Chain A
Amino acid sequence: MLSIRNVRVRYGPIEALHDISLEVNEGEVVTLIGSNGAGKTTTLGAVSGLLPLAGGQIHFDGHDITSLAPHKRVPLGLIQVPEGRRIFGTMTVAENLDLGAYARTDRANLRNELDEIYALFPRLAERRNQAAGTMSGGEQQMLAVGRALMSRPKLLLLDEPSLGLAPLLVKEIFAVVKRIRAKGVTVLLVEQNAHKALEVADRAYVLETGHISMTGDAKTLANDPRIKAAYLGA
């Protein structure tokens, strides 16, 4: 469904991604793990179009999206939940969700989508008229995910969903990832919490300073001694 070939990304003169290639198949949960500064968020930025490429190609669902503007990638079914939640703080929860459906043309089915999301996140339903910026971090993260789901994506790019959340909420967020997958949405998950990420994912890529150093089945990687030593703290 998503294939990234030989992608390079530069921040000014510094190359952050050197020649990255990866595949995400339909229905999978794929995770990108790696330490700080390895290029995980940069990879997602390249896929969603927020960062320009210095080389390589990206194909999504049969389209070449290498040089497509970000707002034109969303209608194709590709959406990113940016790192650090980034909800629209002065707007209400309902307005935030509405903006998630911004790129959709089939406005008629919106009602069902909204009900589904409220069913997925009951807290959002309770707070639908509250200003989004006044909610807790966990609720904001739920809102960010809900907002992305409103665009009815085929592929969801999740960037550090557990960032800054309490352990209980981290558990809840990963349960949500499983439920999203059950709905048939493909997920590309970037996570620092490698342990949890490998638990929910089918396959994983390990990023190290802008290279993919390892790849494989998530269960196998979780038992790999090198991964255990470097990322799982065992």
Chain B
Amino acid sequence: MRPSSLPFPLVFAWRVFIFFVVVRALMGVQGTTLFAGKHPIINPYYQNILINAGIAIILAVSLNLINGITGQFSLGHAGFMAVGAYISAYFSKEIGGVLFAQLIALISVHISKQLGTLLLTFQQPILFTIAILVGALAAGAAGFLVGLPSLRLRGDYLAIVTLGFNQIIVSLIRNWKAVGEASGYIGIPKFTTFAWVFALAIACIWSIRNLASSALGREMRAVRDDEIAAEASGINTTRVKVVAFVYSAMWAGVAGALQAHYIQYANPNDFTFLRSVEVVVSVVLGGLGSITGSALSAAGLTVLQEVLRDVPGAFYTSVALVGLAAYWNFVRVKSEQSGSKSMLRAFVVPFFALIAICLCYWSPQVNAVLERVFPRLDLPDLRAALESSKGALRYVIYSVILIVVMLLRPQGLLGRREWSLAALQRGRRVGKGVEGNLA
């Protein structure tokens, strides 16, 4: 694969990484690591957002393999994530440390003491690697189990089965004594760092992108486009679907392992249907079948979550949203009819939406003016109401974003396109992405 044909987020992430390395070198700050120590380049708050974004990217990109590329509908991604989180956490908390200590003892006694001490210094990364692998394998096995019924079921029925699987997993965990039942699993070692998440997110994008453009990926798209024709052409549709489920579930397991070892706590409530829907939302929003789209929208929604915590953030987001909607609406109207009258009509709704948003934002001031003119009026302070709702506001804006996107861009932000950096540099977006590169 030529480097210029690598997907946009991957190259972009790589450049960001190089940028930080260079900045770090120029600053010459003492410290052994890039992101920890006394003066990290990225402060802990932003690191937290980036880690969450990385986990969201792994989830969305891997779900895209099932929902976007193979054309099946899974609503149980959080279930696979839960399997990965709990199994890997159980391993690193209860099994890994003891096993590792015994192994070191054996090596020190029988082989060489130096090797033993050397291994001891790398205990954490070795243990974490194994824990992630164990979690991924367990989630992959769960994916195999769920993939089997998907051979017989299509569309809505498959969605219901995967949803049921998610609920079963959550119920099992709620009744599993060893991992704290419904009160959650505490005391998981903190292994996840920004570097781990960053590297694994890149590995996820890279491997799924490669899979999608391989012969197997083409079979998956054939199953998506027309299952009967795929079968009649000699494609083993059963195998294709099971592979998609297993591989996707494995990455969900990795995401689960990363999350559990980051917040050092796992609660069954974090892996319910709602979490699955969040992943589906980012895949649909980014465009089913577009890896770039999934990565961008997963990162975007994570950032949005933070931005929407305060009222000014919500205000700017809403204004940007209205602008985007107005642009899409303008493009749509322009393609349907011409004439200045229709152009004007295209901006009527966004204009009033903007006024409504501004009225909410400046409602204390607006109220003061109006109450001076009409002293009898008793207007509600909308801004105060928004402020008191805090985080809940984001669910409203999430929904509005989804409605707007589905109305004006039903194919998602990117449709099925991919961005590659080379195409961006040429100043245009290459039309077909994965599809186009194969021709």
Q: Tell me if B435 and A103 are in contact (CB < 8 A).
A: no
Contact residues in B for A232 (Cβ distance below 8 Å): none
CB-CB under 8 A from B221, the residues of chain A are 88, 90-91
The distance from the CB of B290 to the nearest CB of chain A, in whole angstroms, is 12
- Residue A79 lies at the interface, judged by CB distance under 8 Å to chain B: yes
CB distance from A233 to the nearest CB of B (A): 31
Which listed segment binds B: A30-38, A93-101, A160-168, A170-178? A93-101
Please report the C-alpha to C-alpha distance between residue A99 and residue B233 in the assembled complex, in whole angstroms.
7
Q: Does B27 contact A (CB under 8 A)?
A: no
| Distance A103 CA – B228 CA, assembled complex (angstroms) | 15
Is B235 an interface residue when CB atoms closer than 8 A count as contact? yes
Interface flags, B427-439, vs A, CB<8A=1, else 0: 0000010010011
Question: Considering the chains assembled together, what is the distance between the CA atoms of A50 and B228 in angstroms?
Answer: 8
Question: Is B228 within 8 A of A86, CB to CB?
Answer: yes
Name the B residues within 8 Å of A92 (CB-CB).
435, 438-439
Q: Is B225 an interface residue (CB 8 A)?
A: yes
- B124 → A minimal CB distance (Å): 45
Cβ of A11 < 8 Å from any Cβ of B?
A: no
The residue that A70 contacts in the complex, of B218, B232, B289, B435, with Cβ under 8 A, is: B232
**Which residues of B sit under 8 angstroms from A69, Cβ to Cβ?**
236
Set of chain A residues within 8 Å of B416, measured between Cβ atoms:
90
The answer to whether residues A98 and B218 also contact, given A87-B226, A87-B229 and a CB cut-off of 8 A, is: yes
Asked if B104 is an interface residue, CB under 8 A from chain A, the answer is no
Once A and B bind, how many residue pairs between them come within 8 Å at the CB atom?
84
B234 A74 Cβ-Cβ under 8 A: yes
Closest CB-CB distance, A217 to chain B, in whole Å?
30
Kindly state the separation between the CA atoms of A71 and B219 in the bound complex, as whole angstroms. 13
Chain A residues with CB under 8 A of B225? 87-91
Distance in Å: Cβ of A35 to nearest Cβ of chain B: 23
**A129 contacts across to B, CB distance below 8 A:** 439
Which one of B222, B234, B235 has the greatest number of beta carbons of chain A within 10 Å? B234
Least CB distance from B293 to A in Å reads: 15
Once bound together, how far apart are the Cα atoms of A172 and B438, in whole Å? 31
Q: Indicate which residue in A79, A80, A91 contacts B218 across the interface (CB closer than 8 Å).
A: A91
Interface check B231, CB cutoff 8 A? yes
How far does the alpha carbon of A69 sit from the alpha carbon of B218 in the complex, in Å? 21
Chain B residue contacts of A73, Cβ below 8 A = 234
Q: Is A52 an interface residue (CB 8 A)?
A: no
Interface centre among A82, A94, A102, A131 (most CB of B within 10 A): A102
Chain B, 226-256, contact with A by CB distance < 8 Å: what is the 0/1 string?
1011111111110000000000000000000
Cβ distance A40 to chain B, nearest Cβ, rounded Å: 16
Interface centre among B231, B233, B439 (most CB of A within 10 A): B233
Q: Considering the chains assembled together, what is the distance between the CA atoms of A117 and B36 in angstroms? A: 61
A137 at the interface (CB under 8 A from B): no
Contacting pair A50 B231 (CB below 8 A): yes
- Say whether A147 faces chain B, with CB atoms less than 8 Å apart: yes
Taking the nearest CB of chain B, how far is it from the CB of A151, in angstroms?
6
Q: Which residues of A contact B236 (CB under 8 A)?
A: 69, 71
For A75, give its contact among B224, B234, B237, B289 (CB under 8 Å): B234
Which chain A residue lies CB-closest to B71?
A: A90
Q: A141 on the interface (CB 8 Å rule)?
A: no
Query: Which residues of the partner chain B approach A99 to less than 8 Å between Cβ atoms?
Result: 218-219, 222, 230, 233, 235
Q: How far is the CB of A153 from chain B (nearest CB, A)?
A: 10
User: What mask results when residues 403 to 435 of chain B are scored 1 for a CB within 8 Å of chain A, else 0?
Assistant: 000000000000010000000000000001001
The answer, yes or no, to whether A66 is at the interface (CB within 8 Å) is no
Closest to B236 in A: A71
- Minimum Cβ distance to chain B for residue A75 (Å): 7
The answer, yes or no, to whether A186 is at the interface (CB within 8 Å) is no
Within the complex, the shortest CB–CB distance from B422 to chain A, in Å, comes to 19
* A48 CB within 8 Å of chain B: yes
Could you tell me the distance in whole angstroms from the C-beta of B232 to the nearest C-beta in chain A? 4
Pick the residue among B226, B233, B435, B439 that contacts A102 (CB under 8 A): B233
List 16 extra interface pairs beyond A50-B232, A82-B228, A103-B235, CB under 8 A. Answer: A50-B228, A69-B236, A70-B232, A71-B231, A71-B237, A73-B234, A86-B228, A88-B221, A90-B435, A91-B222, A92-B438, A99-B218, A102-B235, A131-B435, A147-B233, A148-B233
Name 26 A/B residue pairs within 8 A (Cβ), A-sorted. A50-B231, A50-B232, A71-B234, A71-B235, A71-B237, A73-B234, A74-B232, A74-B233, A79-B233, A80-B232, A82-B232, A87-B226, A88-B221, A88-B222, A89-B225, A90-B225, A91-B225, A92-B435, A92-B438, A95-B218, A99-B218, A99-B219, A102-B219, A102-B233, A102-B234, A128-B439
**Chain B: residues with CB nearer than 8 A to chain A?**
218-219, 221-222, 224-226, 228-237, 289, 416, 432, 435, 438-439
The 4 closest A-B pairs by CB, nearest first: A74-B234, A103-B234, A86-B229, A88-B225
